[in-house]
Amino acid sequence: MKSQFFAMPELSMRFLPVWKRHLLVWWKVAIPSILGHLADPLIYMLGLGFGLGTLIPEMGGTSYLLFLAGGTLCYSTMNSASFEALYSGFSRMHHQRTWDAILNTPITLDDIVLSEILWAATKSVMSGLAVLLVIWILGMSHTLLSLWTIPLALLIGLCFSAIGLIMTALAPSYDFFMYYFTLVITPMMMLSGVFFPVDQLPGVLQSVSALLPLTHAIDLARPLLIGNIPHNIMLHLIVLAVYSLAGFYLSLILFRHRLSK
Amino acid sequence: MTAIIEVNHLHKSYAGLRVVDDISIHIKRGECYGLLGPNGAGKSTTLRLLLGLTDPDGGTVRLLNHDVPHFAREARLRIGVVPQIDNLDPDFTVEENLLVYGRYFGMSEKEIKSRIPMLLEFSNLTSKRSAMVPTLSGGMKRRLSLARALVNDPDIIFLDEPTTGLDPQARHLIWQRLRELTSQGKTLLLTTHFMEEAERLCHRLAILDHGRMIAEDTPRDMIKHNIEPQVVEVFGDQVAEWATAHAAKFSQRHEISGETAFCYVQDAQPLVAHLQAHAALRYMHRPANLEDVFIKLTGREMRD
């Protein structure tokens, strides 16, 4: 690969008209999109929460339903960003050639990739808000600390859209994304404490878990919903930020390479 | 007058293959310049290099006094592009496509909206302003691509095979619009493999093959300098035997392609008189055109 592919990202506000384009597309399907954001966590929490919740009265020092709420919030925001960055992003880059059209204007590839990340993170915030709304409506959380999950949803969104875009940059077709979901996302869900505490895992897997971004997201979200201040806030934030920045940079290198052909 | 598009000794290779090989082009303001060539001749890559979307291996590009690729962004601010494959936004209406695209140039909503009625009229899409892109015909989509390329009121317009896949009516409308643009002083750079399109629209044109420019001239002089002025096409069952026996006597050059013998001649009269005596053979006598030059220079074999 050529040296100019490794240049630092050039950031500018030029991403904004591209982000607004994505928003306008979303606006046309806003109602089914919002319903999806609401229904998905609702079904999970009601189904698993009430079903398992009656068998498991308490987990990690709280009700199982509230325990699950923290996991669901992170897992939903992760999924929103991942689907947007992979399937929708690939469609814009490859299938619809939206990126080609934009690249003929003064907007650069760096701006486009940044807009993709910020848009996917926007979808995460929408998803996070929807989960929080469900949590409040079900009367599960009563603390104002839970509002901190909104900026957290943004950070989770940035992190998983940046990682997801690496896959998009490498993908020959939509089918490729199945690898990512079955080999990365699903195992991560099991290892990061969405459904049960990480300390239930064997020691080796606990070490793996400590490296996963979703684990750190959940370690922040869960106490915030319960009403406690999380431990090791800086550590968790740094891990999520490092994944975001590294993902952004790596995906940008790969996109520069791919689109130079 | 100095050139608005200035390309000198441009080189680009992919995987050891020279896709663009020492191309130099100088285009003046208000000129319509055509890049002709078979598939894979390097036309689209040349456009990509000019837009700064890919870096050259050698040579220089200056557009409107901006060095490309270093100042490609500044250059693209004043350029409109009609791409070979439509990349309109399928989720948007005609009008929204123009609005969203204008914002990419940093234009205000108000500024874009003030241009939209004119753009819609120019592209004959006023009645379709609220139609979704997937409901448009091929010709309408092309016209919308053209309107979109004009949203920033560019000085230069790149058109990559603007009429490929269109029916004759739709093609003529595009041609008419392109002529209007050149008369407004816009500079057009278009790639095509329709010779008729190049002959009608272009002030000057270049023929590319295997990444090299093999001819550059006005359409009229391109024909005059490269080929005999008259062509007689002879067809019929015994054309091969006839050609072996007689073609060389009457023509400067001849080629057989399938059931047809193409005879290139300075003076067609002796050949025509001879053919009138051969009832089994049919013939057509016509002046040489750009396609004859193109075939002569790039050969008859297929390019994929």
- Residue B304 pLDDT > 70: no
Rounded distance between C-alpha atoms, residue A219 and residue A200, angstroms: 15
Average pLDDT, chain B: 92
pLDDT band at B167 (very low <50, low <70, confident <90, very high): confident
Which contiguous run of DSSP H or E holds residue B31?
none
Of A100, A101, A106, the CB nearest to B77: A106
pLDDT 10s digits, B78-108: 999 999 999 999 999 999 999 999 999 999 9
The number of C-alpha atoms within 13 Å of B113 and in the hemisphere containing its C-beta is 3
Instruction: Find chain A residues with C-beta within 8 A of B100's C-beta.
Output: 17, 20-21, 24
Work out the average pLDDT over B239-252.
84
Low-confidence stretches of chain A (pLDDT beneath 70) = 1
Among B64, B84, B87, pick the best mutation site for testing chain A contact (most A Cβ within 10 A). B87
Helix-helix angle A30-44:A109-137, to 10 degrees: 50
Is the pLDDT at B279 greater than 80? The verdict is: no
How far apart are the C-alpha atoms of B42 and B11, rounded to whole Å? 10
pLDDT at residue B189, as a whole number: 97
Which of B11-25, B42-56, B149-163, B241-255 comes out lowest in average pLDDT? Answer: B241-255
Mean pLDDT of chain A: 94
Q: State whether B100 and A105 contact (CB < 8 Å).
A: no
Q: Flag whether residue B69 sits within 8 Å of chain A, measured between CB atoms.
A: no
Percent of chain B predicted with pLDDT > 90: 70
Is A167 an 8 Å CB contact of chain B?
no
Are A108 and B73 an interchain contact pair (Cβ–Cβ within 8 Å)?
Answer: yes
Distance between CA A37 and CA A123 in Å, rounded?
Answer: 9
A253 domain-assigned: yes
Whether residue A8 lies inside any domain: the answer is: no
Starting at the edge strand that comes first in sequence, how are the strands of the sheet with B187-192 ordered? Answer: B79-82, B156-160, B187-192, B32-36, B204-209, B212-217
Task: State the pLDDT at residue A46.
Answer: 83
Tally of domains in chain A: 1
| CB contact residues (below 8 A), chain A span 202-231, against chain B | none
Residue B303 has pLDDT above 70, yes or no: no
For residues B196-217, b (16+ Cβ closer than 10 Å) or e, as one string? ebbbebbebbbbbbbbebebbb
Q: Read off the pLDDT band of B50 (50, 70, 90).
A: very high
pLDDT value of residue B34: 96
For residue A9, tell me if it sits in a domain. no
Query: Taking CB atoms and an 8 Å limit, are B104 and A18 in contact across chains?
Result: yes
Q: Which of A79, A70, A51, A76 is nearest to A198 (CA)?
A: A70
Average pLDDT value for residue range B223-237? 90
Q: Would A7 be classed as within a structural domain?
A: no
With respect to residue A13, please indicate whether it lies within any of the assigned structural domains.
Answer: no
Supply the pLDDT for residue B236: 83
Kindly identify which residue of chain A lies nearest to residue B100, measuring between CA atoms.
Answer: A21
- Neighboring chain A residues of B83 at a CB cutoff of 8 Å: 97, 100-101, 104
CA distance B202 to A193: 67
Domain, as residue range, for A211: 18-259
- B96 interaction partners in chain A (CB closer than 8 Å): 24
**What pLDDT does residue B277 have?**
83
Q: Classify residue A31: in a domain, yes or no.
A: yes
Query: Three-state DSSP class for B2?
Result: coil
Residue A34 counted as domain residue: yes
Q: How many CB atoms lie within 10 A of CB A133?
A: 14
| Closest to B262 in 3D by CA, of B234, B296, B294 | B234
Chain-chain contact of B89 with A25 (C-beta, under 8 angstroms): yes
Mutate to test the interface with B, among A10, A104, A115 (most CBs of B within 10 A): A104
A250 and A166 Cβ atoms separated by less than 8 Å = yes
Cβ-Cβ contacts under 8 Å between A and B: the total is: 62
pLDDT tens, B181-198?
999 999 999 998 888 889
- Residue B294 clears pLDDT 70, i.e. is over it: yes
Nearest CA in chain B to A29: B91
Q: Is the pLDDT of residue B239 over 90?
A: no
Chain-chain contact of B101 with A105 (C-beta, under 8 angstroms): yes
CA distance B243 to chain A (A): 47
Contact B106 A106 (CB under 8 A): yes
**CB-nearest partner of B73 from A25, A106, A259:** A106
Q: Span B57-62, mean pLDDT? A: 95
Instruction: State whether residue B90 sits within 8 Å of chain A by CB.
Output: yes
* Beta-carbon separation of B81 and A104 below 8 A: yes
Q: How far apart are the first and last CA of chain A?
A: 12
Is A24 in Cβ contact with B96 (below 8 Å)?
A: yes
Report if residue A112 sits inside a domain.
yes
Contacts of A108 in chain B (CB under 8 A): 73
In this prediction, residue B1 has a pLDDT band, given cuts at 50, 70 and 90, of low
Two structure tokens written together for A257 = 């390479």
A21: contact with B, CB 8 A cutoff: yes
Q: CA of A185 to nearest chain B CA: how many angstroms apart?
A: 29
Only one residue has tokens 């059209």, namely A101
Identify the residue among B12, B68, B91 best suited for mutation to test binding to A, counting A beta carbons within 10 A and taking the highest: B91
CA distance to A210, A212, B112, B225, per residue, from A207 (Å): 5, 9, 55, 77
pLDDT digits (tens, 9 = 90+) for B15-44: 888 999 999 999 999 999 999 988 888 999
Closest residue of B to A24, CA-based?
B92
pLDDT interval class at B204 (50, 70, 90): very high
| ipTM reported for the complex, 2 dp | 0.92
**Chain segment A154-201, per-residue pLDDT in tens:** 999 999 999 999 999 999 999 999 999 999 999 999 999 999 999 999
Biggest CA pair distance of chain A: 59
Q: Is A193 helix (H, G, I), strand (E, B) or coil?
A: coil
CA dist., res. A179 & res. A210, Å (int):
22
Q: Is the Cβ pair A106, B87 closer than 8 Å?
A: no
